[in-house]
Structure 1
Amino acid sequence: PLTRPVLDTPAVAELILDRAQEAGHAKVFPIGALTKGLAGEQLSELVALRDVGCVAFGNGLATFASNRVQRRALEYAATFDLTVVFHSQDASLAEGGLAHEGPTASFLGLAGIPETAETVALARDLLLVEQSGVRAHFSQITSARGAEMIAQAQARGLPVTADVAMYQLILTDEALIDFSSLYHVQPPLRTRADRDGLREAVKSGVISAIASHHQPHEPDAKLAPFGATEPGISSVELLLPLAMTLVQDGLLDLPTLLARLTAGPARSLRLPAGRLAVGAPADVVLFDPQASTLAGETWNSKGDNCPFIGHCLPGKVRYTLVDGRVIFQA
């Protein structure tokens, strides 16, 4: 897998932001590590990381040493009004799992990851959010039950938002039937009922953001037998065309979809982005909804681990502008 730095010191954050500014092709808003080395024990320099440009903090799928440590971390973040990003998955329930625990995994002989790996961790995290008062964003929700729990927390007035991976709105665990490692993701693809529940949550706004959850890998990472491959899909280049399939299929209207790709993510992390207004940065994508994109015809990512390559998808980007500068033209 392609290596990524652990963003737990101001120097690393500054390096990332300097390189992004030097390239000038996109706005980069880094998320800092909540604990040093993502070890779940000692807090990172959160305030210093915020001051150099980190917009939120999280620990990924790495676990905390204890619920007590997690509680203290959230209380500290709340003191400084920092946003914490959660990837709720119980490590012990998910340990050794490769696919959603259900008929497909049983038929294929794959170790399962139950829905409760998400919902048990989510219940704990929501309770700690309520106790600490921290602003929370839940990333990569995969189950209908998880989306319901987010809705209930929002109804109680908790400062909680959520996102879903684009591919979770399209694929289900049935895609694994041929053991293709391109569908090996973590957290796993779940059932049709879960996919439908996630779609409804996106439509209603309970899930306010759709993300690519781009995870590129070198070719060798996907060549081993399914269980020995690295999880993840390289998908950022197809985020808009894949999203347009939801409009094409009548699942979302275009304004709602665009809000979940722009304003929704920006509001979740309180970013100065995602809107068109006088005086706002001219960060704009101009696309033709009537045209089509052949996935993989042009490919810039170092990872080509994408099951959608070769598919003809609706919509085609014509121009991309950053701060009013054209940085891409079809």
Structure 2
Amino acid sequence: MQDIIITNARLIDPELGESTGSLFIRNGLISDAFDADENTQVIDAGGLCLAPGIIDIGVKVGEPGERHKESFTSAGRAAAAGGVTTIVTRPDTDPVIDTPEILEFVARRASAVAQVRVLPMATLTKGREGREMTEIGFLQDAGAVAFTDADHVITNTRVYSRALTYAKSLGALVIAHVQDPGLSVGAAATSSAFASLRGIPAVSPMAERMGLDRDIALLEMTGARLHIDQITTARALPALRRAKENGLDITAGISVHHLTLNDLDVADYRTFFKMTPPLRAEEDRLAAIAAVAEGLIDIICSMHTPQDEESKRLPFEVAASGAVGLETLLPASLRLFHAGHLSLVQLFRALALNPAKRLGLDSGRLRIGAPADLVMFDPDAPFVLDRFSLESKSKNTPFDGARLQGRVIGTWVGGTRIFGGNPDA
């Protein structure tokens, strides 16, 4: 593998901070050896930002069963175009990933066609039905990096506590979706006067707090490792803070959509803005941003959920939830930087370093010996997003027609450039 030197770069190191300098790549790893020769490829970054590649937890890919929505090939291209070098895929496929055989098929398929690293998750209960836990040990041996029923809440606390206890014995990470299912069923918006005026069935923000309180109690009882896929309300943050202060092994994430959009964005009944959980009030959005800034919320993700036109072009309350986000994760996140809420270092702690730490990966940093999974980007480059230009098969993005700042110039995985046509750009 050819040695590479990237010079004149604005280095965004989530561990050491921001600096200007060069980065050397040898054998697919970040190296401190600068013994360049005539065979070394020299790339002048021209003052552009160079950061660890994004690690995106909670990506939905349609294989198996729904390749028309997203395949590993299209998801890999979309991730590369968005500076995402590792995708952690959800198991809520058709069929669900609840056996080693299905998991191994997915892993082989992803390895064969995806340009980026793919780490699959498996379900915590069989069929995501919440009645019987999966064979966590066998699935872990087959390559599952975490266990989750995605947006299905396990209502049987006995089953859930047993699964957490067993996961604890194996050191397995469990990812939970915290919503009270009784309150949340059928809801398409967050309770407010606005939702009432629009006639949209809504759910109280307390549904998230109630779900989190239950999961924290079970976590305290079992001592497991737990990651909350999304914390989106101000009312849930004190409970999360207490759990961390009490020494529980808990982390939390949030989607970029909940950090950059609010419940008023559904005013025109545009179903591309329908999410799970629903978009929140502006006060919740600002509280969540502050929580990311201080590290209370650890991870920013895309919660990439491709949906076809037929499932989105329906009345708002019955349309499918979710949005694609692999290509828009970085430019949408940069809204927080340009607004002065987060520095680039803080941003990449949440996008790269913290996901790597939670999953036990060596990537997500610019440390010597780390994999050369990198993204080079211009944080100030403006553009208007056209959803039909996205690499994803599905085009359900709420940012269609939005003015964004921040273009990916190059993406590397293991020292190999997978995006960016001009090697000297």
**What SS does the corresponding residue of 2:147 show, helix, strand or coil?**
strand
Q: Residues 136 and 161 of structure 1 are in contact (CA less than 8 Å); yes or no, is this contact kept in structure 2?
A: yes
CA displacement, residues 111-161 of structure 1 (integer Å, 9 cap, x when unaligned): 111112111111000000011000110011110111221111101111110
Query: Does 1:315 find its partner at 2:403?
Result: no
Q: Residues 241 and 293 of structure 1 are in contact (CA less than 8 Å); yes or no, is this contact kept in structure 2?
A: no
Query: Which of 341, 348, 351 is 1:258 aligned to?
Result: 348
Query: Does 1:275 find its partner at 2:365?
Result: yes
In the alignment, the residues of structure 1 paired with residue 359 and residue 238 of structure 2 have an alpha-carbon distance, to the nearest angstrom, of: 21
How far off its partner does 1:303 sit?
Answer: 1.1
Query: Which of 299, 302, 311 is 2:390 aligned to?
Result: 299
Q: Identify the structure with the greater strand proportion.
A: 2
**What SS does the corresponding residue of 1:237 show, helix, strand or coil?**
coil
In the alignment, the residues of structure 1 paired with residue 361 and residue 220 of structure 2 have an alpha-carbon distance, to the nearest angstrom, of: 23
1:18 matched residue in structure 2 = 108
2:378 matched residue in structure 1 = 288
Mapping for residues 205-284 of structure 1, pairs under 5 Å? 205-284=295-374
Query: Does 1:184 find its partner at 2:279?
Result: no
Q: Residues 168 and 223 of structure 2 are in contact (CA less than 8 Å); yes or no, is this contact kept in structure 1?
A: yes
How far off its partner does 1:51 sit?
Answer: 1.1
CA displacement, residues 158-206 of structure 1 (integer Å, 9 cap, x when unaligned): 1110000001011111111111111111110111111111001100001
How far off its partner does 1:62 sit?
Answer: 1.7
1:85 is matched by which residue type in structure 2?
I
CA displacement, residues 287-325 of structure 1 (integer Å, 9 cap, x when unaligned): 112323432373111111112122231111111111111
Q: Residues 206 and 235 of structure 2 are in contact (CA less than 8 Å); yes or no, is this contact kept in structure 1?
A: no
2:248 is matched by which residue type in structure 1?
L
In the alignment, the residues of structure 1 paired with residue 226 and residue 189 of structure 2 have an alpha-carbon distance, to the nearest angstrom, of: 27
**What SS does the corresponding residue of 2:118 show, helix, strand or coil?**
coil
2:251 matched residue in structure 1 = 161
After TM superposition, what 4+ stretches of structure 1 lie above 3 angstroms from structure 2?
none
Identity %: 37
In the alignment, the residues of structure 2 paired with residue 66 and residue 311 of structure 1 have an alpha-carbon distance, to the nearest angstrom, of: 42
In the alignment, the residues of structure 2 paired with residue 65 and residue 198 of structure 1 have an alpha-carbon distance, to the nearest angstrom, of: 26
Moved more, 124-133 or 266-275: 266-275
- Larger RCO: 1 or 2 (CA < 8 Å, sep 6+): 2
In the alignment, the residues of structure 2 paired with residue 294 and residue 177 of structure 1 have an alpha-carbon distance, to the nearest angstrom, of: 21
Larger radius of gyration: 2
In the alignment, the residues of structure 1 paired with residue 301 and residue 198 of structure 2 have an alpha-carbon distance, to the nearest angstrom, of: 29
How far off its partner does 1:216 sit?
Answer: 0.9
Q: Residues 98 and 110 of structure 1 are in contact (CA less than 8 Å); yes or no, is this contact kept in structure 2?
A: yes
How far off its partner does 1:65 sit?
Answer: 5.2
1:250 is matched by which residue type in structure 2?
G
2:406 is matched by which residue type in structure 1?
G
Q: Identify the structure with the greater helix proportion.
A: 1
In the alignment, the residues of structure 2 paired with residue 76 and residue 134 of structure 1 have an alpha-carbon distance, to the nearest angstrom, of: 9
Q: Residues 93 and 116 of structure 1 are in contact (CA less than 8 Å); yes or no, is this contact kept in structure 2?
A: no
How far off its partner does 1:268 sit?
Answer: 2.1
In the alignment, the residues of structure 2 paired with residue 280 and residue 64 of structure 1 have an alpha-carbon distance, to the nearest angstrom, of: 37
CA displacement, residues 6-37 of structure 1 (integer Å, 9 cap, x when unaligned): 11111122122212221241111111100111
2:392 is matched by which residue type in structure 1?
S
Question: Unaligned 5+ residue runs, structure 1?
Answer: none
Q: Residues 179 and 211 of structure 2 are in contact (CA less than 8 Å); yes or no, is this contact kept in structure 1?
A: yes
**What SS does the corresponding residue of 2:296 show, helix, strand or coil?**
coil
**What SS does the corresponding residue of 2:327 show, helix, strand or coil?**
helix
In the alignment, the residues of structure 2 paired with residue 290 and residue 182 of structure 1 have an alpha-carbon distance, to the nearest angstrom, of: 26
Query: Does 1:171 find its partner at 2:253?
Result: no
Q: CA RMSD in A?
A: 1.5
Moved more, 261-270 or 245-254: 261-270
In the alignment, the residues of structure 2 paired with residue 321 and residue 298 of structure 1 have an alpha-carbon distance, to the nearest angstrom, of: 21
Question: Could you tell me the TM-score, scaled by structure 2's length?
Answer: 0.75
Question: Unaligned 5+ residue runs, structure 2?
Answer: 1-59, 67-92
**What SS does the corresponding residue of 1:292 show, helix, strand or coil?**
strand
In the alignment, the residues of structure 2 paired with residue 24 and residue 189 of structure 1 have an alpha-carbon distance, to the nearest angstrom, of: 31
Query: Which of 188, 198, 204 is 2:288 aligned to?
Result: 198
Q: Residues 137 and 162 of structure 1 are in contact (CA less than 8 Å); yes or no, is this contact kept in structure 2?
A: yes
Q: Residues 217 and 302 of structure 1 are in contact (CA less than 8 Å); yes or no, is this contact kept in structure 2?
A: no
Aligned residues: 330
In the alignment, the residues of structure 2 paired with residue 270 and residue 206 of structure 1 have an alpha-carbon distance, to the nearest angstrom, of: 19
Query: Does 1:145 find its partner at 2:235?
Result: yes
Q: Residues 88 and 138 of structure 1 are in contact (CA less than 8 Å); yes or no, is this contact kept in structure 2?
A: yes
Question: Could you tell me the TM-score, scaled by structure 1's length?
Answer: 0.96
2:415 matched residue in structure 1 = 324
In the alignment, the residues of structure 2 paired with residue 64 and residue 235 of structure 1 have an alpha-carbon distance, to the nearest angstrom, of: 26
User: Is the alpha carbon distance of 1:231 and 1:24 closer, same or farther for their aligned partners in structure 2, counting shifts above 3 Å?
Assistant: closer
In the alignment, the residues of structure 2 paired with residue 38 and residue 68 of structure 1 have an alpha-carbon distance, to the nearest angstrom, of: 15
